[in-house]
Structures are given as structure tokens and as C-alpha cells.
Amino acid sequence: MATIRLGDLAPDFTADSSVGMINFYDYLGDGWGILFSHPADFTPVCTTELGAAAKFKGEFDKRNVKMMALSVDGAVSHAEWIKDINETQNTTVNFPIIADEDKKVSTLYDMIHPNADNNLTVRSVYIVAPDKTVKLIITYPASTGRNFHELLRVIDSLQLTAYHKVATPADWKQGEKVVVSPAISTEDAKKLFPKGVEEIKPYLRLTPQPNI
């Protein structure tokens, strides 16, 4: 089983889903994507997560990020589970859930950890850029639900730093100051960032977020 690392090409796949057969690359098109796995259908934490994801879809849409979930159960099971999610979470699931009964996709993405369970996927998250490279991997234990505010924050950082020579500091949120890339001299940074450069240390320079 191959291990996926940051910067690797995200494996493409075609699989059945809650909305029929779907190809991952075709679904993403030229946008960003987020793929997140769930241990199984009709599990309590996953039910809350998929409900939260549905409520966040508008925020992901604003960022040109398409969502896709995965569980090792089948499409018929997904359809029944979605009814429960919609009812209990007061939402409407509005993105595909991959049916991975043969564990083909789970194996491609190393979502099954034998130390956790040989049959169930862990709570993995993959964020994929338009060039289909993997930009983020987070794996949670089955007992811990994901924080979708954090996933949006990371996407904001990834999209900002993909197009500007900056990095985001600890606990950064949209609209806050960012770090100037160490590869740029302070003199060049002042030309590149007309909003101003604050030099705290020669290696630690801050500037207002450049894309707002």
C-alpha cells in the first residue's frame, strides 16, 4: 500500500456513489477539492460531520472547492443514511458520498490503518489543488469529529500562499497579517507589498494580507 505525501499527485478513481458513478478528476474539474473518509454509515460522529459539511457547502463553493465524502458501505446504504443525516442534522446532504465496498479508493489513499481497524477507514482529509496535487492531509481518530472551521481556514491559507509569496502564522485567519517569505529580501518585500512591511526580526517580517 503506497503512502500519499504532500505534493504527490492525488490518485484518480472512478467509483459508485450516492449520486451514481463518478470520476474524481472529472468531478473536480479545474477547481480545488476536499475528500474526507468516514469509518462507516450509520455511525454517530460521521452523521454529525456530514451534516456539518452540508451546512458548510456554501463556504466551500465560494472558494471553488468541491466536496466528496467516502465510506466503505454501498450506495444503497448511503441513500438510507443520508435520510437520517438530513433529518437529525436539519440539513440536506448536497455532495457525493463514494461507495467503497471493495476498499479500492480507501487503499489508494491509505485510509485503512490496521492498528485502528482492518475494515474501517480512519477520518482522513485530503485537500487537492487544481493541479491535482495533495496540499493537506489530516487524519483523526474515529472518536474525534473534524473541525470544518479549521478546514476552511487551511484552504484560505493554501489559496493565499499559492499565489502570493507569503506564509500564514499560527492561528491566522482571513484578513489578518501574513508572513513575508524568507526567500525575499526586506528591500524587495517593500516593493512587492505596497501595503507595508513590518520587520520584527530580519527573518520575521509581516505584511497585510495582499489579496484583500
φ and ψ at residue 74, rounded to 5 degrees: -90, 175
Averaged pLDDT of the chain:
92
Residue 3's pLDDT is what? 82
Residue 116's pLDDT is what? 53
Per-residue confidence band for 63, with pLDDT thresholds at 50, 70 and 90: very high
Residue 172's pLDDT is what? 98
Domain assignment of residue 111, given as a range: 14-145
Other CB atoms within a 10 A radius of the CB of residue 10 amount to 22
Q: Using the structure block, give the residue that is written with the C-alpha cell 485510509.
A: 111
The predicted model gives 149-173 an average pLDDT of 97
Task: Choose, from 15, 28, 34, 46, the residue flagged as catalytic.
Answer: 46
Question: How many domains are contained in the chain?
Answer: 2
**Does one domain contain both 89 and 186?**
no
**Does one domain contain both 102 and 184?**
no
**Does one domain contain both 116 and 29?**
yes
The predicted model gives 181-197 an average pLDDT of 95
Assess if residue 6 is contained within a domain.
no
**Does one domain contain both 169 and 140?**
no
CA-angle at 179, arms to 208 and 129, nearest 5°: 95
**Does one domain contain both 130 and 184?**
no
**Does one domain contain both 168 and 140?**
no
Say how far apart CA 71 and CA 77 lie, in whole Å: 10
The predicted model gives 20-38 an average pLDDT of 96
Per-residue confidence band for 39, with pLDDT thresholds at 50, 70 and 90: confident
**Which tens digits make up the pLDDT trace of 104-151?**
998 899 887 665 555 565 689 999 999 999 999 998 887 889 999 999
The predicted model gives 19-47 an average pLDDT of 94
Say how far apart CA 199 and CA 31 lie, in whole Å: 35
Per-residue confidence band for 38, with pLDDT thresholds at 50, 70 and 90: confident
Assess if residue 98 is contained within a domain.
yes
CATH number for the domain spanning 117: value is 3.40.30.10
Other CB atoms within a 10 A radius of the CB of residue 107 amount to 15
Burial class, 28, CB count within 10 angstroms (exposed 0-12 / middle 13-18 / buried 19+): buried
Does position 46 have pLDDT exceeding 60, yes or no? yes
pTM for the full model? 0.91
Assess if residue 157 is contained within a domain.
no
Q: Is 146 a catalytic residue?
A: no
Does position 199 have pLDDT exceeding 80, yes or no? yes
Q: Is 153 helix (H, G, I), strand (E, B) or coil?
A: helix
Q: Which residues contact 196 (CB under 8 A, 6 or more apart)?
A: 190, 207, 208
